[in-house]
Amino acid sequence: MTSRADSLLDRVGRRAAEQARAEARTTVAMLDFADARRAEYEATERTQWRDLELASIAHELAVELQMSVRAVQNRLHQARMVRGRAPSAWSAFGAGRIDSYRVRLISDALNSLHDPRSDGILDDRVVGYAEAHTAAELRAWLKRLTARLEPDHHEQRTRDAVNARRVHIDHRDDGVSELWALLPTAQAVAIDTVLGEALLSKPSDDTRTSDQYLADELARWMLTAADGEPAVRATIALTIPATSLAGLTDEPGISIDRQWVLPASTVRQLATRPGTLFHRVVTDPAGHVLDVTRLGRFAPPDLEVAIEIRDGVCQFPTCTRPAAQCDKDHRVPWPHGPTNGQNMWPLCRRHHRMKTADIFNTEQDQNGQPVWRLPSGRRVAADQVELM
């Protein structure tokens, strides 16, 4: 006899399959759009801008889907990889038997293979395994399979991966950030050993949790010199109202790229700490720092800094390139448009070139605010200045 819980469990399975089929339909639609737009561009004679036109396809999809350009590019690449080299897996995706995340894992595995015979072996085996195992199990299985199928290439990939070692910081919510490092495994194991030994020396009366203690120790090792003095001086650039800095209000401090936020109390504490240099942009409702017009084409340094602080990032929708790494573009081209804050904004080099190539156009809405017009005719508001 089937219980109500059993029926609900069956429903969960059906809904998961429906979601996978919906993901497949969206992916196919993305591929169809990309192919159609590519055909339109290749049918024109604007060969001077062909590479930019083709690159803009992913940017247009990113705006429509509210995804990052990199995520769109990856999704298209992964779909083409599986569709072309693993037809059984692609068919299973369309049928809802595997989801888009498993397709991504299969694509990553295919990307590491070089012999077409290896593709066939993987495709023959992967669907049955993917249907019956978790994504984590599938990832490990694919790792083992590709290493066995092509051991020489696996060795080369290992050398390449070690050469790609790097460090990345991801600013998360509520005043914490994630420090991420890609290291050779031997070094990672050594660090793990040192952290384990440090934990053994934790004083018995220390009230911090093990995780808190190790995080504090790692930061101390990295930021403290042998003599106990700060090994480096931190530079923190943020905007904060004068009233918060004075302790009269508690509006938070916001980084100039809008990627992280610190409570006012934390900012006030850091402002008095030795070894920290603050670039403070103290705001008030009347700030006129950008109301200066220059006669030349290029913005002077003080105007560039003000634009960077005001806008934070590239002003094309979905783009998060920090303004400090962007060109300072005239909305109305110079010399017809002035070199001042009202007419200038940051655009990353790629979106600046796409605007210059007339692939993406800008105009103003009825309120005088900038709007991007896409090749599809859609109009999307530019990233707006976030008023403090």
CB 62 within 8 A of CB 69: yes
201: tokens are 């020396």
Residue 101 CA: distances (Å) to CA of 134, 244, 250: 11, 44, 42
Number of domains in the chain: 4
The answer to whether the CB of 122 falls within 8 A of the CB of 109 is: yes
Q: Does 23 share its domain with 158? A: yes
| Span 224-258, pLDDT tens digits | 776 666 555 555 566 677 677 777 877 777 776 66
Q: Which two tokens stand for residue 52?
A: 């930019």
Strand pairing category for 370-373 and 253-255: unpaired
Q: Note the residue count of the chain.
A: 388
Instruction: Encode pLDDT of 131-150 as tens digits.
Output: 989 998 999 899 888 988 88
Which pLDDT score, from 0 to 100, does residue 218 have? 87
Question: 76-102, pLDDT tens digit by residue?
Answer: 999 999 999 999 999 999 999 999 999
Greater confidence, 268 or 64? 64
Question: Is there a domain that residue 295 lies in?
Answer: no
Residue 295 has pLDDT above 50, yes or no: no
How far, CA to CA in Å, does 354 sit from each of 57, 266, 327, 342?
11, 41, 13, 21
376-388 burial, b if ≥16 CB within 10 A, otherwise e?
eeeeeebbeeeeb
280 pLDDT higher than 60: no
| Structural tokens at position 194 | 């040192």
Question: Mean pLDDT over all residues of the chain?
Answer: 82
**Is the pTM of the predicted complex or chain greater than 0.75?**
no
Q: Is residue 387 part of a domain?
A: no
In a domain, 179, yes or no: yes
Q: Are residues 107 and 246 in the same domain?
A: no
Query: Is the domain of 118 the same as that of 186?
Result: no
Per-residue pLDDT, 232: 53
94 shares a domain with 9? yes
If asked whether residues 185 and 239 sit together in one domain, one would say no
The verdict on 159 and 171 lying in the same domain is no
Residue 277 has a pLDDT of 46
**Segments forming the whole domain that contains residue 377:** 301-381
